[in-house]
């Protein structure tokens, strides 16, 4: 197998028990100096104000497909390894037998409960869309559009016959872009697979949340993160990336592909050097930099800004909020210094790379071999129908989501979720009152923010209108490009207009959740409201540990190291006293040091970046804390029953750990540590518990146990 060993079964258990969590790995608690690069992966919107719970893999007929229940009371006791000591390895205790006996599917690079539910959503959508008959998409409505997208991709023979025909006009556009200004216009286009240094997006204005504004982000890297280009231990990835660039340019018939690939690699390396780190790019004190259009030539000379904004269709606007303020001028200079031939080769490679999964097998296989197999350790290509379903979702997500909701979301689920959220929110209010480190002035602001929290559960109340999207039977590449243009036209037309407060940033079939700091709301799509996260018939302790912890996590995002910088109206402003902010930062630094201490022996030198993952780690710790308080309140003063020998609070913590069952291939874990803002799932299963006193009491964790932290050293933020 290329790119590393499989992290699973006994190998994973051994790694967790013998090296990851031993006392020796719990030292070196200073904050790491290195930080990884700009995060586009955990952000739903271009302003990076919508934080995901989980970084997901990029990943009709009669009857329905039910969700599987776990155990008799919502927890899979058969998956436990009760020979493991909770204070030595809580992941193994809660999920050790599951880890031993669960293989990572060959078409996956990691596997766990998020993937299980994603597979369920995928199967449900497949059952829907495969029953839609092919018709004229111009007159047949959304079902005809869905059928055209789905069946077009499923026509493998037709795609093989076309081979590179859909790619040729795209590459011809690149060849005809013979000047820097023409390349800039190409970079702005949405009807081709162009790559850009300056990503544009339209989202809620962080200073004026009732209006949409234009955001600009650094971009342009094929390896995703600057660290992949700059750190010595990623030399094998750079070597294979160079070979991959060469291979795709060969497939595209590009002149002198080897020399062109070297030029592209050198260009992207310069771009990486200019990029902000990932930790810098999530600092909201630094990422709101409005620049009027007329000032761009002076602010970032060397790039034809007027042509770029016009080609992007945003020239009716007047300002762009630049997120990486010092990086954009450097990128403009790099662009100006590059010769046109290099810029053309860079555009050609990315066009082929982006289009490859939609093309014949010689392109699709080359893409899989590098992107999925080498970079993430995935052994086999995903079945074609699964990729077709994903294509439908990326093009017509709410259209198919509307049908999903009719079959799989009940009013009872929403009512019980409303109750859970209300209880966890009340617990958060109580926690704010109990914080000894918080002054009355900051406390009042925190209560005001909590009171203003919005809630969306299940699905949108109004659905997207796709009638303006032109879909054609048998035109896979064209359908994708027109879908991208359709979406961009929808976004850019809203510049300067009033924000649609009812809009969702996810489809209902998405297995995830998010907090939006500008709308100050938490959102839970229908697909996550299933076991092991939420089961209306499960033991309440497990539900509070599962979906309750998730609810708490999203609430805490409004009060994490970046979410705390917006107020109850979603306005980016400092509402903290200096003393309270300093106390908060001190505790956050301690938490970051804890996470950076975890070692991954199969990946020497790689660690969780405490600053990059800070918001998610604070979300987990605070979310569990308030969910536990909510569970206790739900008992109404009565003792919790003992079930199968487990107390209520034991079941609460087991419910949390069950949610985060995760197995990794080495290469996928590397990608998560370098590119992700979330700690790996198997770390999330136990790491926040080490700071919660009740966990020690529930499982008898004592001094001397590897996971033990002295009470005075435990992090207490919310």
Domain with residue 692: its CATH number is 3.40.390.10
**pLDDT of amino acid 412:** 87
Whether residue 639 is found in the same domain as residue 580: yes
d(CA 373, CA 212) in angstroms, rounded, equals 40
Do the domain assignments include residue 380? no
Do the domain assignments include residue 429? yes
Res 683 pLDDT > 50: yes
Long-range Cβ contact pairs of 242-250 (< 8 A, separation 24 or more): 244/366, 244/370, 245/349, 247/366, 248/349, 248/352, 248/353, 248/356, 248/363, 248/366, 248/367, 249/345, 249/348, 249/349, 249/352
**Is residue 636 left, alpha or beta, with left meaning phi > 0 and alpha meaning psi from -120 to 50?**
left
d(CA 184, CA 589) in angstroms, rounded, equals 42
Whether residue 565 is found in the same domain as residue 665: yes
Residue 200's φ and ψ, nearest 5 degrees, are -110, 140
What is the mean pLDDT of the segment spanning 619-643? Answer: 96
Pairing of strands 319-322, 454-458: unpaired
**pLDDT of amino acid 55:** 64
Structural domain including 627 reads 409-460+504-713
**pLDDT of amino acid 54:** 56
The predicted-structure confidence for 297-334, as pLDDT tens digits, reads as follows: 999 999 999 999 999 999 999 999 999 999 999 999 99
Half-sphere exposure of 708 (CA within 13 A, CB side): 11
Q: Reduced to 3 states, what is the DSSP secondary structure of residue 454?
A: strand
Which DSSP letter does residue 455 get?
E
Task: Give the count of domains, the chain.
Answer: 2
Pairing of strands 50-52, 521-525: unpaired
Structure-block tokens of residue 511: 């297995």
Contact 672, 696 (CB under 8 A): no
Whether residue 440 is found in the same domain as residue 354: no
- Pick the last residue of a domain from 358, 379, 400: 358
Do the domain assignments include residue 301? yes
Residue burial 6-23, b: 16+ Cβ < 10 Å; e: rest? bbbeebbbebbbeebbee
Do the domain assignments include residue 44? no
Whether residue 644 is found in the same domain as residue 585: yes
Q: Reduced to 3 states, what is the DSSP secondary structure of residue 436?
A: coil
Average pLDDT score over the chain: 91
Whether residue 686 is found in the same domain as residue 605: yes
Do the domain assignments include residue 332? yes
pTM: 0.89
Rounded to the nearest 5 degrees, what angle is found at the Cα of 670, between the Cα atoms of 14 and 608? 80
% of the chain with per-residue pLDDT over 70? 92
Whether residue 633 is found in the same domain as residue 574: yes
The predicted-structure confidence for 521-544, as pLDDT tens digits, reads as follows: 999 999 999 999 999 889 999 999
d(CA 598, CA 684) in angstroms, rounded, equals 12
Which CATH number goes with the domain that contains 246? 1.10.1380.10
Q: Which of 537, 554, 543 is nearest to 656 (CA)?
A: 543
| Rg, C-alpha atoms of the chain | 25
Among 22-36, 413-427, 468-482, the least confident range: 22-36
Res 31 pLDDT > 70: no
Whether residue 417 is found in the same domain as residue 289: no
Other Cβ atoms less than 10 A from the Cβ of 285: the count is 9
The predicted-structure confidence for 79-134, as pLDDT tens digits, reads as follows: 999 999 999 999 999 999 999 999 999 999 999 999 999 999 999 999 999 999 99
Residue 406's φ and ψ, nearest 5 degrees, are -60, -30
Among 28-32, 227-231, 459-463, the least confident range: 28-32
d(CA 365, CA 674) in angstroms, rounded, equals 25
- Pick the last residue of a domain from 358, 393, 428: 358
Do the domain assignments include residue 315? yes
Site of tokens 């919107």: 45
Whether residue 205 is found in the same domain as residue 284: yes
Do the domain assignments include residue 48? no
Structure-block tokens of residue 60: 């009709």
**pLDDT of amino acid 676:** 85
- Pick the last residue of a domain from 342, 358, 374: 358
Contact 7, 664 (CB under 8 A): yes
How remote is the C-alpha of 520 from its chain's centroid? 19
Do the domain assignments include residue 78? no
Whether residue 677 is found in the same domain as residue 529: yes
Whether residue 257 is found in the same domain as residue 343: yes
The predicted-structure confidence for 176-190, as pLDDT tens digits, reads as follows: 999 999 999 999 999
Whether residue 348 is found in the same domain as residue 414: no
d(CA 311, CA 188) in angstroms, rounded, equals 6
Whether residue 424 is found in the same domain as residue 563: yes
């Amino acid at each position: 197998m290329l790119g590393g060993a499989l992290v699973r079964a006994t190998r994973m258990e051994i790694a967790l028990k013998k090296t990851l969590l031993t006392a020796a790995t719990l030292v070196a608690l200073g904050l790491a100096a290195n930080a990884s690069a700009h995060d586009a992966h955990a952000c739903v919107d271009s302003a990076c104000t919508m934080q995901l719970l989980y970084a997901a893999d990029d990943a009709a007929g009669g009857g329905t497909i039910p969700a599987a229940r776990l155990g008799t009371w919502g927890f899979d006791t058969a998956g436990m390894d009760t020979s493991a000591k909770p204070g030595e390895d809580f992941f193994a205790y809660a999920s050790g037998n599951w880890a031993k006996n669960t293989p990572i599917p060959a078409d996956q690079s990691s596997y766990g409960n998020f993937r299980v539910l994603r597979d369920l959503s995928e199967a449900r959508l497949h059952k829907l869309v495969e029953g839609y008959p092919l018709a004229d998409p111009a007159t047949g409505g959304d079902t005809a559009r869905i059928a055209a997208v789905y069946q077009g991709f499923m026509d493998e023979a037709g795609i093989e016959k076309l081979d590179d025909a859909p790619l040729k006009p795209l590459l011809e556009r690149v060849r005809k872009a013979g000047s820097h200004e023409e390349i800039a216009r190409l970079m702005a286009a949405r009807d081709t697979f162009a790559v850009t240094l300056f990503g544009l997006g339209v989202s809620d204005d962080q200073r004026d949340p009732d209006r949409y504004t234009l955001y600009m982000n650094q971009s342009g890297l094929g390896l995703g993160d600057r660290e992949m280009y700059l750190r010595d231990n990623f030399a094998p990835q750079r070597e294979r990336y160079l070979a991959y660039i060469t291979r795709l340019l060969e497939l595209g018939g590009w002149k002198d592909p080897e020399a062109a690939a070297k030029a592209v690699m050198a260009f992207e390396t310069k771009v990486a050097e200019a990029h902000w780190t990932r930790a810098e790019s999530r600092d909201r004190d630094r990422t709101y930099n409005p620049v009027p259009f007329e000032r761009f030539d002076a602010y970032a000379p060397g790039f034809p800004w007027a042509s770029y904004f016009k080609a992007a269709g945003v020239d009716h606007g007047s300002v762009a909020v630049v997120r990486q303020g010092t990086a954009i001028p450097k990128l403009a200079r790099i662009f100006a210094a590059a010769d046109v031939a290099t810029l053309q080769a860079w555009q050609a490679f990315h066009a082929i790379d982006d289009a490859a999964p939609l093309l014949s097998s010689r392109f699709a296989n080359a893409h899989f071999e590098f992107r999925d197999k080498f970079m993430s350790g995935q052994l086999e290509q995903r079945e074609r129908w699964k990729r077709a379903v994903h294509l439908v979702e990326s093009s017509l997500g709410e259209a198919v989501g509307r049908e999903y909701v009719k079959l799989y979301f009940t009013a009872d689920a929403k009512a019980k979720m409303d109750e859970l959220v209300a209880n966890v929110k009340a617990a958060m209010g109580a926690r704010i009152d109990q914080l000894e480190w918080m002054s009355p002035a900051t406390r009042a602001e925190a209560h005001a923010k909590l009171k203003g929290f919005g809630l969306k559960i299940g699905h949108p109340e109004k659905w997207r209108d796709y009638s303006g999207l032109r879909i054609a039977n048998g035109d896979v590449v064209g359908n994708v490009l027109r879908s991208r243009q359709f979406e961009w036209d929808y976004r850019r037309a809203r510049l300067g207009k009033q924000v649609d407060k009812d809009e969702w940033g996810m489809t209902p079939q998405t297995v995830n959740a998010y907090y939006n700091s500008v709308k100050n709301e938490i959102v839970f799509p229908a697909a996550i409201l299933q076991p092991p996260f939420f089961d209306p018939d499960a033991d309440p302790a497990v539900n509070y540990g599962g979906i309750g912890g998730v609810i708490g996590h999203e609430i805490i995002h409004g009060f994490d190291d970046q979410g705390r910088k917006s107020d109850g109206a979603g306005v980016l402003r400092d509402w903290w006293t200096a003393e309270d902010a300093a106390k908060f930062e001190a505790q956050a630094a301690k938490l970051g040091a804890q996470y950076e201490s975890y070692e991954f022996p199969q990946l020497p030198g790689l660690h969780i970046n405490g600053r990059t993952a800070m918001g998610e780690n604070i979300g987990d710790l605070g979310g569990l804390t308030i969910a536990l308080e909510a569970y206790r309140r739900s008992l109404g003063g009565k003792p919790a029953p003992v079930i199968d020998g487990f107390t209520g609070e034991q079941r609460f913590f087991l419910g949390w750990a069950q949610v985060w069952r995760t197995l990794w291939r080495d290469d996928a874990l590397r990608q998560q540590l370098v590119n992700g803002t979330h700690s790996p799932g198997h770390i999330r299963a136990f790491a926040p518990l080490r700071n919660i006193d009740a966990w020690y009491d529930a499982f008898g964790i004592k001094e001397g146990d590897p996971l033990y932290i002295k009470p005075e050293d435990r992090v207490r933020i919310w």
